[in-house]
Chains A and B, each alone.
Chain A
Amino acid sequence: MKTNFFRLMLRQMDVQLRMRVLSLWSLGLFITQPVIFSAVAMFLSRAAGNTNPDLIYTVIGGGIMGMWSGLVFTSTFDIRADRREGTLELIVGSPTPLRRVVGFRSLLNILAGSTSMLAAILAAVLIFDYDFSGINLPGVVLSFLLLFFGLWCMGIFLANLLAWSRLSGTFVDLLEIPVALLCGFMYPISVLPGWMQNISTIFPIRWSLEAMRDAMKGMPYNAELLTKWLIALGISLVFLLIARWLDGKVHDHIRITGELHSI
């Protein structure tokens, strides 16, 4: 019996979609919340006298906020629910490594979260007549793919922390807003003090987000854009490697402490 990755991915994503993603709660998380974020930010930004292309921060900010919150909440909820429902020990007790299950789940969670970006952009176009002409479209697409990849790597890393112990979910919940603020989801990172900017360098999404905004403002391919892409890719891979290293440790730790289930 050999694992077929593609079949496992489809089955996992199918279960994930129907068990966790298709719900009113998720609709609020992935659509309503980012649209409200974007709209309020846009009103505030306009009131402050900003016009295109500065409004791009509010458009992308709403989208990334939905993707990030979606990842944090669904990842947290997934492992907690599996612990509570007794399915975590069935998954761990099967020959399929837990990392594959959480990897495919995170993929679907971020795919679902991508609807946030779409919703925020639609809100900008339809409600605020935002003009997207003059953008570096291939650059935007590549930046978005790197943003997606960075979030996926962080998702797998967080899932390992969540599996580690019953209490780690609280810690991961607390990461949501600080990471959003440190990575400058809705404003230029340059407005933050230096030490805060230094902390944010460890998050791959900060770099891909900056690259995406630059490309949306029409920045052509240059060394600055390329550097941001490479840093985003490099840090994402570091997160992935740490997650892979943690995976074996988590597998042993939860079986020593008996943290596979909760009542």
Chain B
Amino acid sequence: MTTEQKAITINQLRKTFKTRHGFWKRTTRVTEAVQDVNFDVERGELFGLLGPNGAGKTTTVKMLATLLIPTSGTISIFGQDITQHTNEIRKRIGFTFGGARGLYGRLTASENLRYFAELYALPPEVTRKRIPELLELVGLSTRGDDKVETYSSGMQQRLHLARALLHDPELIYLDEPTVGIDPVGARELRATIKNLKAMGKTILLTTHYMAEADELCDRIAIINNGRIIALDTPSALKNRITADTVIELKTSLEHLPALKTLLDQLDPLTSVTYTQNTHEEAVSIHTVQPGTVIELLSPWLNTDLVHNMEMRNQTLEDVYINIIQGDGK
């Protein structure tokens, strides 16, 4: 596939921020927000960018949205270099950033959309048709004439999406679109994102929610400390880790030493992590031999030593934590 056919091509992307501190003795602090990032996104693909806070997700999206200039490296959008064709690219992309910022609270949703439609130079007849359609799409058609300051954060997030879609962009960046939204609202927003993909839009999504990425994304890149540390389909990522079953259980704090002694008998390839809560300890066992673990623990089931035991398959979250922790070591 040629570069022209790809929606996004990123080569050796790097962004460094320099901040100065002090009044008399000026010192400069250099932050490497993004370092040597490379990836491509195909047309029509829903691509996920996952990573912890401060990993470089938003900085990457802002460079893709022409809001930041890379320190080095190149970005091509539909084959056009982002620094050479900034204005042409702006007409073809739409973006939203998480949170309630980015709207005029004293204006209604329709007025906000009319204003941004003018910034994208939409003809009035297109604006008149498009605004009700988009409000319908994001489930705000009955609240279009209400001031945005009266909206919940979920409604504001949906209005952000409508704003990003005003000029019918081919490529959409959604930076943590479900952050701060209740589960029902988040599910509706995910359904809208799936619809957009079905309409042929290319979408780059950043999120903290692994289930969301697993449900929506064709491919996922995991970014940590400004570097891409894994990139694959969700299923391929899940198959990366040898342990394919997770057993979770709880124990009381006083019985924890006894349980540790018991679990020390397990195969060294089995990984056990302990998380202390207020009154109990949560234990997570990643194993390729769940039968052995069950056999070991079954005499102690429903005692103070072992309670609330559950077994499940590995999730993307397990993979994510494994990869991020592995990167930190």
Tell me the A residues contacting B by CB distance below 8 Å.
Answer: 1-4, 7-8, 11-12, 15, 18-19, 84-87, 89-96, 101, 252, 255-258, 260-261
Q: Are B118 and A95 in contact (CB under 8 A)?
A: no
Tell me the B residues contacting A by CB distance below 8 Å.
Answer: 17-18, 59, 62, 65-69, 87, 90-91, 95, 97, 99, 101-107, 111, 114-116, 118-124, 163, 167
Given that A85-B102, A87-B103 are contacting pairs, would A95 and B114 also be in contact in the complex, using a CB cutoff of 8 Å?
Answer: no
* 11 sample A-B contacts, Cβ–Cβ < 8 Å, listed by A number: A1-B122, A1-B123, A2-B121, A19-B106, A86-B97, A89-B97, A93-B65, A95-B90, A95-B119, A256-B68, A260-B68
Q: Are A86 and B101 in contact (CB under 8 A)?
A: yes
B69 to chain A, nearest CB (A): 5
Q: Are A252 and B69 in contact (CB under 8 A)?
A: yes
Closest to A20 in B: B106
With A15-B107, A257-B18 already in contact, 5 other A-B pairs whose C-beta atoms are closer than 8 Å: A1-B91, A1-B167, A11-B115, A85-B105, A93-B90
**Distance, CA A18 to CA B99, complexed state (A):** 23
Q: Are B116 and A94 in contact (CB under 8 A)?
A: yes
**Distance, CA A7 to CA B115, complexed state (A):** 10
Given that A2-B121, A19-B106, A95-B121 are contacting pairs, would A86 and B116 also be in contact in the complex, using a CB cutoff of 8 Å?
Answer: no
Q: Are A96 and B67 in contact (CB under 8 A)?
A: no
Chain B residues contacting A91 (CB-CB under 8 Å) are 119
Chain B residues contacting A85 (CB-CB under 8 Å) are 101-105
Chain B residues contacting A96 (CB-CB under 8 Å) are 118-121
Q: Are B97 and A18 in contact (CB under 8 A)?
A: no
Given that A85-B104, A95-B121 are contacting pairs, would A255 and B68 also be in contact in the complex, using a CB cutoff of 8 Å?
Answer: yes
**Distance, CA A85 to CA B106, complexed state (A):** 12
Given that A11-B114, A89-B67 are contacting pairs, would A95 and B95 also be in contact in the complex, using a CB cutoff of 8 Å?
Answer: no
Chain A residues contacting B118 (CB-CB under 8 Å) are 7-8, 11-12, 96
**Distance, CA A260 to CA B95, complexed state (A):** 15
Chain A residues contacting B59 (CB-CB under 8 Å) are 258
- Taking a contact as CB atoms closer than 8 A, the residue among A90, A95, A258 that contacts B68 in the complex is A258
